[in-house]
A = this chain, B = another copy of it.
Amino acid sequence: MTVSRTVELEGHIIDSGTMGMCFGVVMDMGGEFEVEEFEVGRHKHAETYCRMRVMADTEEELRAILHELNQQGATVADPRDATLEAAPEDGVVPVDFYSTTNHPTYVRVDGEYVEVEDVEMDCALIVERAGQEDPQRVGDADENEDGDSTRVYTKVLNAVEKGDLVVTGETGIRVEPPERPRNGGGSFGFMQGGVSSERPSASLIEEIADEMREVRENDGNVLVVCGPAIVHSGGRDALADLVRTGYIDGLSAGNGFAVHDLERDLYGTSLGVDTESLEHPRKGHKHHIYTISEIVRVGGIPAAVDEGIVDEGVMYECVENDVPYVLAGSIRDDGPLPDTITDSIEAQSAIREQAQEADLVLMLSTLLHSVAVGNCLPSTTKTVCVDINPATVTQLLDRGSAQAIGMVTDIGTFIPMLAEELLEE
């Protein structure tokens, strides 16, 4: 062990698992540690402090260990500024760039810790110094009230531009991973990573309804991510009710969800198929294509609502109630609708904006769109994942929020029960 560095941790780091994780990281990666100071939090509200020296055989190994420790919230003790290096080309990061977590993060620039804006995982950190002009942001000058202070923000790889000042290494970066809450927890679990299959479904639905009410009372933003199973399983009308009554502030979905929703409207009323009993469960894919064709003809969903072609359903309520929606395209789409964003980078940007505004995200029966939204969320955003497939729920919770409820249930009974809970009181 020829090289070493001292790191510090602070907070409810024992019951949050951080301390144990850090010891484990060092041992797993072939390093050694020596605790130099340890002050345990002696009761519930007291924080623990740990300073330890981490040793490794080579600089490279040490750097790898420090990277992992940093992601757990450890800070390199010796207070120095973060190192910065200019991006060599568009879409290219310096060799040792710092890759973000989704936790609140602070970067030391010119002696001051600056909070990272729009935290999101797997991004580069870009530093824009006070006075320094970001060529890309010139046009936004009037929007940027912090124009004269230093900013640090995330950029996904494809947005990195030649010359961007990118943070490298681990020095001068402080991450705040989620801590076990002290207030008895409340409804949202702490880093469960698992699925509450042992909880009664009805009481979980009540807790989710409580959370939605609270977000609404605080003028917060509820984003719903929707898969087509919502329409098949009979959850559509209840979801439309929730949009109409103002419980939903944004919708993220794919082309397929929107087409199924519109088709149910167009063909439920016009062609005599009873949408309740679904007496003709023939393939009817023709209806699907023709629905798209009709929307193309008038120029999009809002136009279809205006012309009275569409007069109920989730998309209708979104248009009527000014609830913004993003429809992201995929290679398995039919059509697509004119409203669908077919370029995946453009679609990601639109989703990113939705995600950053959300205070509560309901992920309903779609893995693809939920992952896309989840990728853009900070770990502090509350999340509810509902799917009939436990593997989907587990996968979403694993990458996700520190405050998450996972529920393995039938979306066709979940949404009606949630709407009843919220609307019938």
Taking beta carbons and an 8 Å cutoff, which residues of A are in contact with B? 14-17, 19-21, 23-25, 27-29, 32-35, 38, 40-44, 50, 60, 64, 67-68, 71, 88-93, 95, 97, 99, 121-122, 124, 156-158, 180, 182, 184-185, 197-203, 205, 229, 232-234, 271-272, 276-278, 280-283, 285-286, 288-290, 292-294, 296-297, 328-336, 342-345, 347-348, 351, 368-369, 371-372, 375, 388-391, 408-410, 412-414, 416-417
Contact = CB atoms under 8 A, between A and B. Distances in A.
A344 B391 CA distance: 27
A202 B416 contact: yes
Given A157-B293, A157-B296, 5 more contacts: A29-B280, A91-B293, A199-B232, A201-B410, A409-B412
A14 B25 contact: no
The 9 closest A-B pairs by CB, nearest first: A200-B234, A201-B412, A409-B410, A15-B23, A413-B413, A99-B286, A329-B344, A331-B372, A38-B40
Given A20-B16, A92-B296, A348-B331, A99 B412 contact: no
Contact of A200 (B17, B93, B272, B276): B276
Contacts of A158: 335-336
A21 B16 CA distance: 9
A258 to B, nearest CB: 14
A232 B93 contact: no
A406 to B, nearest CB: 13
A157 B292 contact: yes
B28 A32 contact: no
B290 A97 contact: yes
Contacts of A232: 197-200
B336 A278 contact: no
A157 B335 contact: yes
A332 B97 contact: no
A68 B281 CA distance: 11
Contacts of A16: 20
Contacts of A414: 410, 413
B122 A285 contact: yes
Given A93-B290, A335-B157, A330 B368 contact: yes
Nearest to A65: B282
B92 A293 contact: yes
B27 A20 contact: no
Given A331-B372, A410-B408, A297 B201 contact: no
Nearest to A15: B23
Nearest to A89: B297
A25 B280 CA distance: 10
Contacts of A282: 25, 28-29, 68
Nearest to A334: B122
Nearest to A274: B203
Contacts of A417: 413, 417
Nearest to A19: B14
A277 B206 CA distance: 10
Given A15-B27, A25-B282, A293-B157, A368 B332 contact: yes
